[in-house]
Amino acid sequence: MHVFVDASEKAYACAVYLRTYTNDGNAQCALLAGKAKVAPVKPMSIPRLELRGCVLGTKLAKYVQDQHSVSIAKHFFWTDSTTSLSWIRADPHNYRPFVAHRIGEILDSSSVAEWRWVPSRLNPADEATKWGKGPYFSNNKPIVATTEESRTAVMLHAVTSPVIRYERFSRYERLHRAMGYVLRFLNNVRPDRPKMSGQLQQHELQAAKEAIYKQVQLEVYAEEVLKLMEIESAISDESKTIDKHSSIYQYMPVLDDREVLRQSSRARKAKDLPFDSLYPVLLPKAHPVTLLLIDYYHHIYRHANPETAVNDLISRVNVS
The candidate with the shortest Cα–Cα distance to 85, out of 37, 107, 43, 117, is 117
pLDDT, mean of residues 173-189: 93
Provide the pairing of β-strand 2-7 with 76-79: parallel
Report the first-to-last Cα separation within the chain, whole angstroms: 59
The candidate with the shortest Cα–Cα distance to 297, out of 280, 279, 315, is 315
- Cα separation of 142 and 263, whole Å? 51
Cα R_g (the chain), whole angstroms: 29
- Cα separation of 186 and 311, whole Å? 35
Lowest mean pLDDT among 58-67, 149-158, 235-244, 284-293: 149-158
- Cα separation of 149 and 83, whole Å? 10
What are the tens digits of pLDDT across the range 58-79?
Answer: 999 999 999 888 888 899 999 9
Kindly state the DSSP code that residue 245 receives in the 8-state scheme: T
CATH topology of domain 2-127: Nucleotidyltransferase; domain 5 (3.30.420)
Residue 233 has pLDDT above 80, yes or no: no
Q: Are 262 and 282 in contact (CB under 8 A)?
A: yes
- Domain parsing of the chain, residue ranges: 2-127, 166-319
pLDDT at 160: 56
Residue 267: pLDDT band with limits 50, 70, 90: low
- pTM for the model stands at 0.49
- How do the residues of the chain divide into helix, strand and coil, expressed in percent and rounded to 5? 45, 15, 40
What are the tens digits of pLDDT across the range 122-158?
Answer: 888 877 534 444 555 444 445 555 556 665 555 544 4
